[in-house]
Chain A
Amino acid sequence: MLTVTDAVVRYGTIEALHGISFDVQQGEIVALLGANGAGKSTTLRMVSGLHAPASGSIIYEGRDITKVKAHEFVSMGISHVPEGRRVFPQMTVEENLEMGAFRRSGPLRDDIEEIYVQFPILKERRKQPGVNLSGGEQQMLAIGRALMSKPRLLLLDEPSMGLAPMIVETIFSIIGQIRDAGTTVFVVEQNATQALRLADRGYVMENGRIVFGDTAKNLLTDPRVRAVYLGESVEGE
């Protein structure tokens, strides 16, 4: 579904990603793991057009999307839940959800109600501006907003960041439901164990490189993953 080959990303003169390659198959949950500053968010921002790669290619559903602009991604079925939630602070919960369907025409009522079924708390808070929501509620809103575009590929950037363990459980079970409903998920996480319990496959990043990838099952028992999870450097790197 998504194939990235030798992608290099630069911020000015600094090279943030040194030629990374990975792929996501339809129906999978793929986790991208790594310590802070390893390049996970940069990778996700590249995949959703926020930061174009200097070289390399991104193929999505057989189409080269390397040069496609960020605002066109959502129409192609790719939806990105950004790091830190980024709900629109002065828009109500409902307006935020409507923003998620910005590129779709036609009535949204049924779709909004569907999101409310999945996230009942959002219905209670529908008239509240986004800035008044708790972190967990904002994360649910950000995910609900992304689902409003009816994506085929959902990109999630650190969905557990700053949330209480109970809420993290809820968010991860929702991510599982989203995949079961037919949406492919590519998730960036620091919380490696949690992510790998849910994912089918995973990749581990370090210093702007993907150092290895494997099935989630194998990664969970891999000593190198334990090292990353504990924030230690990988042997031999």
Chain B
Amino acid sequence: MGFEHFWLSGFDQIHTAFWTYLAVGLQNGAVYAMIAVGYTLVYGVLGLINFAHGEVFMCGGFAGVFLTRDILGDRTGTGWGSVALVLAGIAIGALVSALVAIGVEQAAYRPLRRRHAPKLAFLISAIGASYFLQTLAGKEFGYGVNIFPGQVFEPGQVMFTLFGTTIHTITVVSIIAAIVMLVVADRIVRATRLGRGIRAVSQDAETSSLMGVNIDRTITITFILGGALAGAAGFLYSLQSGMVQNAGTEIGIYAFTAAVLGGIGNLRGAALGGLFIGLFGSFSVPFAFEGNVQWTEIYTFLILVLVLIIRPTGILGERSGRTA
């Protein structure tokens, strides 16, 4: 197979199945975007990457998986019942992940902040928290065992057909849920007093305390916000792909990449970066050599490197890159 032929066949596939690639890309992008916001917000207030954030996502996913299994058992959700289950799954995933995120902050970061520990100590502590959660989940739910949720939607349920492409219900639900939650998060950060506190701490923590901002409380709120989004994403992801104890590593790295790509510290940048990584990953599938989809990962990280060479602070990043 010649190189030219390889490229042409790739474009041919995109040409014939454009809407399918778009739908898959948007669905993945929605999940990445929701997780990426947590990385970027925490980076804003603490100036460090919360490497346990992927595990926060994983915990929310498992919570949603077991909720739907407990309710549905072997049955399949129908009609409004499915809608209610999705909302419940998002809520329980968000709640559990928010609690896990608070736990991570209290156990892994707060004691170090009290002692003015160097950044490296935070990094080690974050990796420790990440391993702890992964191993705990592995012990409870099995190592490398993919656990699927109850059937909220029939497998492969089609919501509608667009230009001859079947669009699955799960895709539509994921995208709508992501948009709503991202818009709400954006409004909270930009237009509420809570958000003003988060932005103030991101820009100058000490001065914000002189303004009366309780830094510890603001950091907790930031973890709750990021955790809730990651937990909701965990549930939406598991509806499609199931959940496995180490899913946080791979998905987390994609989402982290999205946050850096968009400009770390910038909420809209993180959402945009997530969408971009999702779409790019999907549309690069036809260009994978010998059908090996691992190539999409190589392409994605190549793009990351290229973007960072051209714009070291990411797509929407500012000079300092520290604005929430």
Residues of A bordering B, CB below 8 Å: 48-50, 69-75, 79-80, 82, 86, 88-91, 95, 98-100, 102-103, 145, 149
Contact = CB atoms under 8 A, between A and B. Distances in A.
A72 B197 CA distance: 14
24 contacts: A48-B210, A49-B209, A69-B209, A69-B214, A70-B206, A71-B211, A71-B213, A71-B214, A71-B215, A74-B212, A86-B204, A88-B199, A88-B203, A88-B208, A90-B203, A90-B318, A90-B323, A91-B200, A99-B211, A100-B211, A102-B193, A102-B213, A103-B211, A103-B212
Contacts of B9: none
Nearest to B202: A90
Contacts of A103: 211-212
Contacts of B208: 88, 99
A105 to B, nearest CB: 9
Nearest to A131: B319
Given A88-B203, A90-B318, A50 B193 contact: no
B200 A88 contact: yes
B267 to A, nearest CB: 13
Contacts of A90: 199, 203, 318, 323
B196 A89 contact: no
Nearest to B215: A71
Contacts of A50: 206, 209-210
B210 A91 contact: no
Nearest to A45: B206
A231 B215 CA distance: 38
Interface size class of B (residues with CB under 8 A): 20 to 34
A98 B213 CA distance: 12
B207 interface: yes
A88 B193 contact: no
A80 B196 contact: no
Contacts of B207: 82, 86, 88
Contacts of A48: 210
| Residue of B193, B196, B207, B320 with most chain A CB atoms under a 10 A cut-off | B207
B196 A71 contact: no
Contacts of A73: 210, 212
B175 to A, nearest CB: 30
| 6 closest A-B pairs by CB | A103-B212, A74-B212, A70-B209, A86-B207, A90-B323, A71-B209
A91 B214 CA distance: 19
B212 A75 contact: yes
Contacts of B199: 88, 90-91
Contacts of A100: 211
Contact of A95 (B196, B209, B210, B214): B196
A95 B210 CA distance: 15
A74 B196 contact: no
A102 B212 contact: yes
Contact of B212 (A86, A88, A149): A149
Contacts of A80: 210
B200 A99 contact: yes
